[in-house]
Amino acid sequence: MNRIILIVLCSFMSFGIMSFGTISEAKEVKLNIKQKKKLKYWQKQITKFEGRIEKACGTKIPITLDKSGVAEFLEKNTSLSSYCESIAYPVMTFCKDPDVKSTIVEKIKSIKCMRGEPKALTFKMEGTSYIGTFGLGASNINRKAKEWLENNL
C-alpha cells in the first residue's frame, strides 16, 4: 500500500513540477505573421531595456516575455513590452541606489513577465527569478512593483 501511495505521489509531483515552467516554455504558442512581427518588435524593446538594467546594475539580468499574451495585447493595440518594462523598471532604479544595488544584484538573476487574468497584477520570487504576472488593463504596475520589491527583498 505504501509503495502505491509513493508512486502516485511521485507521479503528481512530477506533473506539478512540469506545469510550473513559464507559459511561453510550457505551451506552444501559435502566432500569425502579424503577431510574430509584433512579438519581434517587443522583444527588441525588451533587449534594449535589458541593456539599461545591465548598465545600472553592472550585470546582465535577462528578461523573459510570455508569448501567450501577444494576440490579446495586439488586439487591444497595447504594448506587451511596456507592461513588462514597468515590472522591470524598479530593478533598474534600485540598482542606481548604492545602498540597495548589492541586494538587487544578489537576489535577482532573471525577470519573467507573465500574462495573467485581465487587470490582475501579482509579483513573486522563485529562487532568483523575479516574476511579475499581469493582465491587460492592470494599472500602476511600476509603483506596485516598486512597493513589492521594497517589502519583499
pLDDT tens for 81-109 read: 999 999 999 999 999 999 999 999 999 99
Looking at the chain, the whole-number percentage of residues with pLDDT higher than 90 is 78
Q: Which band of pLDDT confidence, cut at 50, 70 and 90, is reported for residue 30?
A: confident
Integer Cα distance of 57 and 108 in angstroms: 11
Considering Cα of 96, then 40, then 26, then 66, what sign does the dihedral take?
Answer: positive
pTM above 0.85, yes or no: no
Query: Between residues 145 and 2, which one has the greater pLDDT?
Result: 145
Reported as a single tens digit per residue, the pLDDT across 123-137 is 999 999 999 999 999
Query: Between residues 30 and 57, which one has the greater pLDDT?
Result: 57
Q: Which residue has the cell 517589502?
A: 151
Nearest alpha carbon to residue 42 among 63, 22, 58, 26: 63
Q: Which grid coordinates are listed for 127?
A: 529562487
